[in-house]
Amino acid sequence: MPPHLRKDFLKLVEKYLNGSASAEEINAIENYYSHFSNDPDITDSLDENEINTLKATLRQKIDNRIDKAERQIVPIYKRRYLQLAASILLFLALSVFFLNRLKHEPAKLSAQNHDLAPGGNKAILTLADGSKINLNNMKNGAFTSQPGVHIIKQSGELSYKAAETNSNPAEVSYNTLTTPKGGQYQLTLADGTKVWLNAASSLKFPTAFNGNERVVELTGEAYFEVVHNAKQPFKVKTSGQTIQDIGTQFNVNTYSDENASATTLVEGSVKIYDAKGQTMIKPGQQFLLKANGLSEVTSDVDINEVTAWKNGMFQFNNASIQTIMRQIARWYDIEVEYKGPTPDYTYHGKISRNSNASQVLKILELSGINFTIEGRKIIVKS
């Protein structure tokens, strides 16, 4: 649809929404809706996952508008137009997006020929003596590289189990599991605690847990499913804070390029110690520790969004383009460059982390942002 016609049509939809459209105008809009809802040039342009994601994104924006309208005193005969108008706006937005996408497709072919594959199960294990094992090159199975412990490698997962012949249970050595950009890995510690390690992250941990507490050290991001033991509390040390489990599943994000370290509680309870004191949070709450040392607890956290990475998804709810691109940069191991003013919109969307970078960027292009892939760099143009 040419820009001047699109502008006129949007004015017509606005009249339809507020009930001032004439009979001819109403008929024109409904005919447009009927046409585009069954147009294969639109519905066949993207795969089912992309269409559903785009629909969900637009639907949320449209529903917000409807909610605002319905809070006003609206005559019944006008209110019945709202839902149909929402559907019209949905298909209008989708059709404009698909038509623009097809129009610009030739210009983007060169970038997509250099598409970026998603990350995967990649990690380096550093042993107590400093030697490093590239887990990508290791076959599945057990190997005993540490005294008193069996290390078992499966696809994308490492497990520690005490050896029955451990003659010196007091002897403890430390290993470090490190994921690169574009990598992730799962780890089962000697006590049965499960850890999911996100890209560009590192976890230092003992090969066995002896003594009065269990302590690991984290940089980057990890999800913990802790085997609770009140007599031997589990603690996660990060820069500036210590997180103590009290029967818990929680996510810790300590990336240095984020605005704050975030501990999000999914189940159970955690106690967080920082320079200011200690804080207890409940399921659904998030503890933020900012660079200036200030902290706060928020309760309006979308747990699914926070833990989406662990479940193989990107999920964004009211996320800035900078937040999104930081996640993309870590997962696809790329550099991000901004040209022109940085968009100040917020974005919604959900897509598999198994998707190539171009598929993720298509979702964001819905909001009018252009992307170019040059080697291992994504250029963002508003």
326 and 260, same structural domain?
no
- The whole-number pLDDT of residue 185 equals 98
What are the counts of helices (DSSP H) followed by strands (DSSP E) for the chain? Answer: 8, 25
CATH of the domain at 124: 2.60.120.1440
- The whole-number pLDDT of residue 317 equals 86
- The whole-number pLDDT of residue 235 equals 97
Domain final position from 66, 92, 112: 112
Domain final position from 59, 78, 112: 112
The residue assigned the tokens 């189940």 is 267
226 and 135, same structural domain?
yes
CATH of the domain at 325: 3.55.50.30
365 and 228, same structural domain?
no
- The whole-number pLDDT of residue 263 equals 97
- DSSP SS3 for 265: strand
Count structural domains, the chain.
3
143 and 98, same structural domain?
no
292 and 189, same structural domain?
yes
Domain final position from 305, 320, 348: 305
- The whole-number pLDDT of residue 77 equals 40
254 and 125, same structural domain?
yes
pLDDT averages per 10-residue partition of the chain, 382 residues: 53 65 66 46 49 51 49 42 51 47 40 75 94 91 79 93 63 92 97 97 95 96 95 95 92 95 95 93 95 91 95 90 95 94 81 89 78 90 78
Residue 98's H or E segment, with its range, is helix 76-112
Domain residue limits at 282 = 120-305
196 and 340, same structural domain?
no
Inter-axis angle of helices 357-365 and 48-70, nearest 10: 30
State how beta strands 214-219 and 234-238 pair: parallel
- The whole-number pLDDT of residue 124 equals 97
Q: Which two tokens stand for residue 15?
A: 């009249």
- The whole-number pLDDT of residue 363 equals 76
230 and 133, same structural domain?
yes
- The whole-number pLDDT of residue 86 equals 52
pTM of the model: 0.72
81 and 130, same structural domain?
no
- The whole-number pLDDT of residue 122 equals 96
254 and 325, same structural domain?
no
220 and 165, same structural domain?
yes
Q: How many residues does the chain have?
A: 382
- The whole-number pLDDT of residue 52 equals 56
40 and 185, same structural domain?
no
